[in-house]
Structure 1
């Protein structure tokens, strides 16, 4: 096939969910072409129809709940809409592969990493198990998974979010597809791995002539890797064209809004004389490595290896580093959600050695907001029950009516309508769900909050809103934050001080302004270069 020849044609595509008066038109009259070796980006906020459009290409929508009132999708001249199952099975995962946004829900929790990558090779390539194992190792190394051979027997829950996403990318690339559909492929990745993965995808694209359909909310990624861009909102493409032209001179107001959306501003002014809220001294979290029939310990994974820190009231300590550097494990250890060694003091009280019962009264003042609002909220509980759960546990609010008032006040404080408290999580957008998660933490009036990647799953415009909200809440309640993130743009807008972690240790710690203007180590410089320039990071600099 000639270079630049069109291999995917989407014409007048519409997608409708449901029937009759309750029907929702998720995608309306979308058209675009994708050529060999070309990268087309679909951008827009959550709910704009990007992922529904991509899933339509492979006919992966929940039919017959979903229907196509109009439209055609042709892959190399073959119609996909209404195609026979045998046709679709030959194309899915073979000629067109897809990397989904959330790897934890896409990977089978009961199968090892080797089994899941092997399955793709055994199904489509008919390889022997020995050849499939060798190819699996090659793919895992290709996508930058460290110690790939030792990870073959690991299960998804034993890997970090970034490591799981790399496994998903390896599976998608296994059969060298004609088209790779990447639905937010770098959302869960730290900035240096993001740069490496984007570089890898471009190299593979050049070698294989692979076309890339990229779905993302990160306009910096689009600017770096895409040839063309389609901007979507409310199920429609409102602007399309070459990336350089659209970004330099956006014509539609919505495109201008997206390009202007980025976390800005400075963290609230903290005071050195403010009381010390959280203190850690030489904290260690080591996980044993066992081998043999008797499972003897032959070594340790040093997830956190001698970390000391201090956080005052009204202060934000940003913790950055690559996936697997120990950031989240440190946060869990400080909250006593992870067993650790070393000193941990909260409000002057030594936490180490306290029993579960002794810790319970302190839990109210120590809260956490998790990375993914889709996973951290129970789909079976209403928003009221989710936010009120902690109030009941800590016997706050007195009566049901009193707790309902407290829930209403918490929702209002995070910018949500209290009248929606009897709805369920699936009725809210990603940004709204994250506000619910923040309300759940704030309703207990905590003093210390661990924010574990609270904006990474959100659109850039929603990220800016959440950062503003977190700053306002900190200013109002004099909160101490441990802010864990791989997004240095967000860290710069929120953190007073920044601690850079690598392999469980601190490689650099300083005021945020100093970290971003004059980093002292090669590792920190590599992180900053990847975050703000998305330049190719030399492995020697990253791994120093």
Structure 2
């Protein structure tokens, strides 16, 4: 190995919790050469993100500390550097892309201002030069018509576009080292493929080194030269990507590599099975208003004339990129947003029912959202969160009866019922998603919409949640609509698939047929991007 650009030596990270100190990273050492990509892999809580944040001293000090260790960038110890020296390195020599762009982008500043700020501070560019550079960067990361996005605020663009803006900011000063912390987790498969290709091209052109933090082993195989596997704050195995995938030595590495989802799709429901939900010619159009009097000048056709049937006991997968209308379709099906067209649930026409008339159907129609951070109240205990629906829909139930139902729901999703007195922040991402599933199940619904329920989870946890959902479906005869951009998860879960693009269905049919012989060019593109491990 050539002289390393970055050398982490015997790094330890501790967090003060009350009167005690908890070690999150224990004696980690690795080096990154110029132009090399090193992957840090491991499940949530393994210490990989904490290690990466330590490089630029971005941890919450003084609650966090480094009892020992060095982080040498071009020979300079960043752990001992003053703030002025760190400012020179941050964003200029070493840049970082974070997993959740909404927590990293300022909601009060436009896209142009946020990227221009980096160029102004580190490169001294004037307004006109900065604008030209911003447009080049936005175009480079695949944002269409970038000049129309300059004045947009983060909340006005999609999750995938926000992540691309984060990448543009990180690459603005052409850093020597890019630390990418789960940079493609929330992106569609086609966008993910584009971003990974973009990063490799930029790396080759700039000679940039990368530390790539991910739980997606397909990305590791495609992107990394070397891999460090982390568990409980320690590196348990390291080696070249090729050697590690071919012959893993440590039991934990073997477990990670075996946590792949099944390639065999479940069978489609029989044609004579009961129809749980029938949607006919559903439209969700959002008006575009302009001018002083806010006249309607057009519509965004989020869902445009969609018809679909969901049969009892089956899982229907809905796939497509961000903006294809899949989540909007799910929300409209549950009457959570206004729409036109027919929605028939268990033989009952729902479209003309008001909110009060809809209430009796709510217990049978439940939803699990993508982000358990956002959908679980931080001020309520897990027990209260799960019991909340029972208080609305089963008012005759005693406090003891409610508690028994909560205990049963937690047991069903594989969580210790004793944890019901704790709060959501005390659980991992996978455990929070199980809590969200328990909240939906406690009402014993017939129909469940699962909106990207595994997108933010580690590969091994994804496999656990898929197994959990299949087991619950088999035991209770549940009917699922599974919305996702992760086609591997959809193949493992769904008997039938609906492919959406631009608010319309472009292809649908049994999962096995769609995956083996996709007929529409868009489906072919999706599958090529999703199933290519490089």
**Could you tell me the TM-score, scaled by structure 2's length?**
0.96
Deviation, 1:378, is 1.7
Aligned position for 2:84: 86
2:239 to 192, 217, 241: 241
Aligned position for 2:530: 531
Give, in whole Å, the separation in 1 of the partners of 2:490 and 2:470: 12
Give, in whole Å, the separation in 1 of the partners of 2:92 and 2:60: 21
Return structure 1 stretches of 4+ with deviation > 6 angstroms: none
Aligned position for 2:143: 145
Aligned position for 1:290: 289
Give, in whole Å, the separation in 1 of the partners of 2:40 and 2:439: 33
Unaligned runs of 5+ in 2: none
Aligned position for 1:49: 47
Kindly indicate whether the alpha-carbon contact (under 8 Å) linking 2:304 and 2:504 is maintained by their aligned counterparts in 1. yes
Aligned position for 2:495: 496
Aligned position for 2:114: 116
Aligned position for 2:363: 364
SS of the aligned residue for 2:62 comes to coil
Give, in whole Å, the separation in 1 of the partners of 2:130 and 2:436: 42
**Could you tell me the TM-score, scaled by structure 1's length?**
0.95
Kindly indicate whether the alpha-carbon contact (under 8 Å) linking 1:277 and 1:448 is maintained by their aligned counterparts in 2. yes
Greater mean deviation of Cα atoms: 328-337 or 228-237: 328-337
Give, in whole Å, the separation in 2 of the partners of 1:117 and 1:391: 47
SS of the aligned residue for 1:298 comes to strand
Kindly indicate whether the alpha-carbon contact (under 8 Å) linking 2:265 and 2:512 is maintained by their aligned counterparts in 1. no
The correspondence of residues 383-402 of structure 1 with structure 2, limited to 5 A, is: 383-396=382-395, 398-402=397-401
Give, in whole Å, the separation in 2 of the partners of 1:293 and 1:340: 27
Aligned position for 2:13: 15
Give CA deviations for 1:375-431 in whole Å, capped at 9, x if unaligned: 221222111111111111223461222111111100000011101100111111111
Q: CA RMSD in A?
A: 1.7
Deviation, 1:354, is 2.1
Deviation, 1:323, is 1.6
Give CA deviations for 1:64-94 in whole Å, capped at 9, x if unaligned: 1111111000111111113211111222122
Aligned position for 2:342: 343
Give CA deviations for 1:350-385 in whole Å, capped at 9, x if unaligned: 222322212222221111111122222122211111
Give, in whole Å, the separation in 2 of the partners of 1:157 and 1:339: 21
Give, in whole Å, the separation in 1 of the partners of 2:524 and 2:68: 50
Give, in whole Å, the separation in 2 of the partners of 1:286 and 1:148: 24
Give CA deviations for 1:17-53 in whole Å, capped at 9, x if unaligned: 1168632110011000111111100000000000000
The correspondence of residues 156-171 of structure 1 with structure 2, limited to 5 A, is: 156-171=154-169
Deviation, 1:4, is 5.4
Unaligned runs of 5+ in 1: 536-544
Deviation, 1:220, is 0.2
Give, in whole Å, the separation in 1 of the partners of 2:333 and 2:232: 42
Deviation, 1:461, is 0.5
Give CA deviations for 1:240-276 in whole Å, capped at 9, x if unaligned: 1110011111111110110010122653773332221
SS of the aligned residue for 1:420 comes to helix
Change in CA separation of 1:128 and 1:59 when aligned onto 2, cut-off 3 Å: same
Give, in whole Å, the separation in 1 of the partners of 2:268 and 2:302: 32
Give CA deviations for 1:139-171 in whole Å, capped at 9, x if unaligned: 222111233333333332332222221121111
Deviation, 1:5, is 4.4
